[in-house]
Amino acid sequence: MESGLGRSSETSLKASSSMASNTSRNTDLDQQGGHFNSMDQSCFARPSQSFPAFSPLFGVQSSSLYLPDDNEAKIGNQFEPNPSLNNPTVDWDPQVMLSNLSFLEQKIKQVKDIVQSMSSRESQVAGGSSEVQAKQQLVTADLTCIIIQLISTAGSLLPSMKNPLLSSNPAVRHLSNTLGSPMAFGSSCNQRPSSNNDATIPDITKTPDYEELMNSLNSTTQGESDELMKCQNPCGGEGSEPIPMEDHDVKESDDGGEGENLPPGSYVVLQLEKEEILAPHTHFCLICGKGFKRDANLRMHMRGHGDEYKTPAALAKPSKDSSSEPAPVTRYSCPYVGCKRNKEHRKFQPLKTILCVKNHYKRSHCDKSYTCSRCNTKKFSVIADLKTHEKHCGRDKWLCSCGTTFSRKDKLFGHVALFQGHTPALPMDDVKVTGASEQSQDSEAMNNMVGSIVYNFPGSSSDDIPNLDMKMADDTRYFSPLCIDPCFGGLDDFTRPGFDISENPFSFLPSGSCSFEQQNGDS
C-alpha cells in the first residue's frame, strides 16, 4: 500500500499534503486552545498525547476517502511523521492566512477541472462507472478538504469562536457521518461536547457561507452523496440535509426502526440484535440495549449516557433513576423478520421485557441444543425449560399414540377418551424392558438349553407327517413288555396327528447325565 501510494503525482500530493498538515495543525491548535481554557497550565504536555487519539480519525477517514485515487493517497500517512506542529499561537498570522486562501483557490480550481471533465465525458459515454465513481469520490473528498480548510481559516479569524473543536469538529463529524467512516459513530461519542456546545453547532453549520458551500456541493454531487448516505445509514434517508446529533443518537438506539408504522405513541419499541439477545447477559441498558453480565458493569456503562447517571444515587440504584424520569413505556421487538413478535409483522405483538425477548428468541428461532438426558428425545433451547422438564421426565410420562405426552395418567386417559382412534402408547424403552428382557432374557438361556436337549427329532418338519401317519397304524398292536417298541412315543391321539413325531423316548434322553449341554445344529 505504501509503495503504491508513493508513486502518486507530485502536484496533487503536495497540495493535499499541505492541506492536511494545515488542517491537522489547526485542529491541534484548537484542541490546545480548548485545553487552555478549561484546564490548568500544567496540561501543556497534553497536545502531543491527545493528538494520536485524534489523528486516526483523520487518518482512516482520509485514507479511505483518497484511496481510489492515487494522487492524494499519501495524506493519511503524513500525519504520523508530522505530529509536532504545536505552535500555540492565538492571534492569526496573515502569512498563514494568505497561504491558506491561495491553497483554497488552487484546490477549488482543481475540483472545478475534475467536475468539468466529468460533465463532458458524461455526455459522451454512459459507461465507465468505476472511473466515474472514483472521480466522484475524489470530488467529494476535495470538497470536504476545502470546507475544512475554509472553516478552520475562518475560525481562526473569529475571536468569539476560540473554543476548540467547535469550528472544525462538528463539521468534520458531520461530514464523516455523511461520508461514512465507521469510526465516526464512536468518535462522535468520544468527542461529545457539553450541552451548551451542542447548542452552538447549528449556528455554525447554518452560517450562510456554509450553506452556500453545501448547496454548491449538492448541486454538483447530490445524487452520488445520496447514494453514499444510503449505504452508510439506511435509516437517514433525508438526503443532504444535515442531521443533528441528537437525532442520530436516537436512531442508533432505535436501530433503524421506522417509528411511523407503530401505533400512536403508546410505547417505545426496542429491538435488540440477535447477537445481543444470545449473549449471556442479564442486565440491559434501557437506553441503548447493551447487555451486561453484572449490574455493576451496566452502571458503569450508564455513566457514558450522561451526567445524570453519574450521581451516587444513580450508580447505586439504576432502577430508581429510570423511575424518577418519566420514561416512556418500553416494549421489545424480536429481530427475526416474519415473526409475530417482530415489529414489522402485521399483527405485531410486542414482548414485555428483555427476558421475554431472550426466551422468545431462543425458543422460536434457535436450535434446541439442550437434550434431556433421561428421555433423550425432548430438546430445549432454554436451559430453564430443560430443568423444568427434567423434573417431570421419566416415570410419570404418559404417552399417546399421537405423540402427545402427559404428566399425569388421568390426563392421558381423558385425552384418549376424547379423541377417536387415539390409544395409550407405551414408551419404547418400556416395551423393550417388559416385552423382551423381563421374562425372555433369562429364559432365553433356558430356551437354548431346552432346545439343545428336548426336541431333537431328526425330522421335525412337515415332510414327515405322512410317514408318521402310516406309523400310527400300528399303534393297535399288542404290546410285548419285553421289547421296547420303537413306536413308544405318543402316537395314538387322533387329535394331534400333526404332532405325532413318534420316537423312542429314550432317544431324546441324554446318554450321559450331563451330555445335554452339547449343542445340536438342527434344533
Partner 1 sequence: MATPTQHHKRRRLSPLLHDLADELLFVILDRVAADDPRALKSFALASRACHAAEARHRRLLRAFRADLLPAALARYSAVSRLDLSLCPRVTDAALAALSTAPSVSAVDLSRSRGFGAAGLAALVAACPNLTDLDLSNGLDFTDAGAAEVAKARRLQRLSLSRCKQLTDMGLGCIAVGCPDLRELSLKWCIGVTHMGLDLLALKCKKLKILDLSYTMEEKIAVQIVKNCFPAIMKLQNLEVLILVGCNGIDDDALTSLDQECSKSLQVLDMSNSYNVTHVGVLSVVNAMPNLLELNLSYCCPVTPSMSSSFKMIHKLQTLKLDGCQFMADGLKSIGKSCVSLRELSLSKCSGVTDTDLSFAVSRLKNLLKLDITCCRKITDVSLAAITSSCPSLISLRMESCSLVSSVGLQLIGKRCSHLEELDLTDNDLDDEGLKALSGCRKLSSLKIGICLRISDEGLSHISKSCSDLREIDLYRCGGISDEGVTHIAQGCPMLESINLSYCTKLTDHSLRSLSKCIKLNTLEIRGCPMVSSAGLSEIATGCRLLSKLDIKKCFEINDLGMIFLSQFSHSLRQINLSYCSVSDIGLISLSSICGLQNMTIVHLAGVTPNGLIAALMVCGLRKVKLHEAFKSMVPLHMVKVVEARGCVFQWINKPYQVALQPCDLWKQQSQDLLVQ
- Give 120-177 as a DSSP string: HHHHH-S--HHHHHHHHHHHHHHHHHHHHHHHHHHHHH-STT-STTTTTHHHHHHHHH
Q: Are 151 and 168 in contact (CB under 8 A)?
A: yes
Q: According to CB under 8 A, which one of 461, 467, 515, 518 is a site residue for partner 1?
A: 461
CB of 318 to partner 1, least distance (A): 54
Buried b (16+ CB within 10 A) or exposed e, 178-202: bbbbebbbebbeeeebeeeeeeebe
CB of 405 to partner 1, least distance (A): 13
Output 196 or 462, the one with its CB closest to partner 1. 462
CB of 516 to partner 1, least distance (A): 7
CB of 391 to partner 1, least distance (A): 22
The single-letter DSSP state of residue 351 is B
Residue 443 in contact with partner 1, rule: CB under 8 A: yes
Q: According to CB under 8 A, which one of 123, 421, 519, 521 is a site residue for partner 1?
A: 421
Spatial CB neighbours of 257, under 8 Å, sequence gap ≥ 6: 235, 269, 271, 333, 343
Residue 243 in contact with partner 1, rule: CB under 8 A: no
The span of 129-137, 231-239, 346-354, 475-483 binding partner 1 (CB under 8 A) equals: 475-483
Residue 402 in contact with partner 1, rule: CB under 8 A: no
Torsion angles phi and psi, residue 147, rounded to 5: -60, -45
Residue 501 in contact with partner 1, rule: CB under 8 A: yes
Residue entry with cell 427329532: 457
Output 88 or 451, the one with its CB closest to partner 1. 451
Residue 429 in contact with partner 1, rule: CB under 8 A: no
CB of 419 to partner 1, least distance (A): 10
CB of 410 to partner 1, least distance (A): 6
Kindly give the pairing relationship between strand 398-400 and strand 424-425: antiparallel
Whole-number Å distance between alpha carbons of 297 and 307: 17
Residue 468 in contact with partner 1, rule: CB under 8 A: no
Spatial CB neighbours of 211, under 8 Å, sequence gap ≥ 6: none
Q: According to CB under 8 A, which one of 274, 455, 518, 522 is a site residue for partner 1?
A: 455
The span of 121-129, 304-312, 386-394, 419-427 binding partner 1 (CB under 8 A) equals: 419-427
Residue entry with cell 404417552: 399
Whole-number Å distance between alpha carbons of 66 and 74: 9
Output 4 or 459, the one with its CB closest to partner 1. 459
Whole-number Å distance between alpha carbons of 322 and 386: 34
Q: According to CB under 8 A, which one of 505, 518, 520, 522 is a site residue for partner 1?
A: 505
Output 339 or 501, the one with its CB closest to partner 1. 501
- Alpha carbon of 326 to those of 300, 320, 321: distances in Å? 22, 11, 10
CB of 376 to partner 1, least distance (A): 20
Q: According to CB under 8 A, which one of 194, 208, 338, 506 is a site residue for partner 1?
A: 506
Q: According to CB under 8 A, which one of 35, 305, 310, 422 is a site residue for partner 1?
A: 422
Whole-number Å distance between alpha carbons of 26 and 20: 10
Three-state SS across 85-107? Answer: CCCCCCCCCHHHHHHHHHHHHHH
Residue 377 in contact with partner 1, rule: CB under 8 A: no
Which residues bind to partner 1, rule: CB under 8 A? 398, 409-410, 413, 416-417, 421-426, 430-431, 434-436, 438-440, 443, 446-447, 449-450, 453-455, 460-462, 465, 469, 472-473, 475, 479, 481, 485, 488-499, 501, 505-506, 508-510, 513, 516
